[in-house]
Amino acid sequence: MRIGIGYDVHRLVEGRALVLGGVTVPYHLGLDGHSDADVLVHAIMDALLGAAGAGDIGMHFPDTDPRYRGISSLLLLRHVTEHLDKLGWSVGNVDAVIVAQAPKLARYREQMQQNLAREMRVAPDQVGIKATTTEGLGFTGRGEGVAAQAVALIRGSV
C-alpha cells in the first residue's frame, strides 16, 4: 500500500462554470483554468499519482497542450485510474476537503462522491468529501478562489 497527498487552488472569476467533483454548482463565479478547473478532482489526481510515484497532473496533462483546453477533469481522472492500472495499482480510498467560503456545497456532496467513485472504479463509500470555510480568512475566505486537498491510498502487487 502507498499513500499520496494532493493540493490544488484555482481563482474564482466571472464567465466560467463552477465545477467541483464533476458537478456544475450554480454560482455567479466559476474556477479559472485550462481545463474545467475542478480543484477537487485535480487534488485527487495528484494524490493518486503521487502515491504511485508517477509524477503529477502537470506532467501528464500540461496546460500548454490544447487537447486539454476545457476538458472535463473527470475524464482526466479516468485516464489517471487507467494509468494506475497499468502500473499495477488500484485505488483503496480517497479522502478530500474543499475549502470555499461560498457557495454551500453539502447538497452536492453525494453526486460528487458518485462521480468520483465511478471514474476511480470504487464504491462511493471509498470516497470521502468534506467542505469547509476559512471563517473569512485568506484568499478563500475573501471569495477569491477555491482550494482542495486530498489523501489517497492505493494498493497493488508492486
Does 60 have pLDDT greater than 60?
yes
Answer for the pair 40, 112: CB distance below 8 angstroms, yes or no.
Answer: yes
Answer for the pair 90, 48: CB distance below 8 angstroms, yes or no.
Answer: no
Does 158 have pLDDT greater than 90?
no
pTM of the model: 0.96
Does 157 have pLDDT greater than 80?
no
Q: What residues contact 19, with CB distance under 8 A and at least 6 apart?
A: 25, 30, 31, 36, 37, 38, 72, 73
- Across all residues in the chain, what is the average pLDDT? 96
Q: Using 50, 70 and 90 to split pLDDT, how confident is the model at 101?
A: very high
Instruction: Tell me yes or no: is domain 2-156 CATH 3.30.420.10.
Output: no
Task: Specify the amino acid at residue 155.
Answer: R
What is the percent of the chain where pLDDT is above 70?
99
Does 138 have pLDDT greater than 60?
yes
pLDDT per position as a tens digit, 113-136: 999 999 999 999 999 999 999 999
What is the percent of the chain where pLDDT is above 90?
98
Cell of 15: 464567465
Answer for the pair 25, 103: CB distance below 8 angstroms, yes or no.
Answer: yes
